[in-house]
Chain A
Amino acid sequence: QSALTQPRSVSGSPGQSVTISCTGTSSDVGGYNYVSWYQQHPGKAPKLMIYDVSKRPSGVPDRFSGSKSGNTASLTISGLQAEDEADYYCCSYAGSYTSVVFGGGTKLTVL
Chain B
Amino acid sequence: EVQLVESGGGLVQPGGSLRLSCAASGFTFSSYSMNWVRQAPGKGLEWVSYISSSSSTIYYADSVKGRFTISRDNAKNSLYLQMNSLRDEDTAVYYCARIYDSSGYFDYWGQGTLVTVSS
Contacts and interface: CB of A to CB of B under 8 A. Distances in A.
Contact of A89 (B45, B103, B107, B108): B45
B86 to A, nearest CB: 22
Secondary structure at the B interface, as helix, strand, loop or mixed, is strand
B107 A48 contact: yes
B45 A45 contact: no
A57 interface: yes
A111 to B, nearest CB: 23
A63 interface: no
B17 interface: no
Given A97-B59, A98-B59, A48 B105 contact: yes
Contacts of A95: 104
A44 B110 CA distance: 9
Given A51-B100, A103-B44, A45 B105 contact: no
A31 interface: no
A30 interface: no
Nearest to B101: A97
Interface string A71-110: 0000000000000000001010101111011111100000
Nearest to B4: A45
B59 A34 contact: no
A3 B110 contact: no
A45 B111 contact: yes
Interface string B90-115: 00000101011001111111111000
Contacts of A101: 47
Interface string B72-102: 0000000000000000000000010101100
Interface of B: 35, 44-47, 50, 59-61, 95, 97, 99-100, 103-112
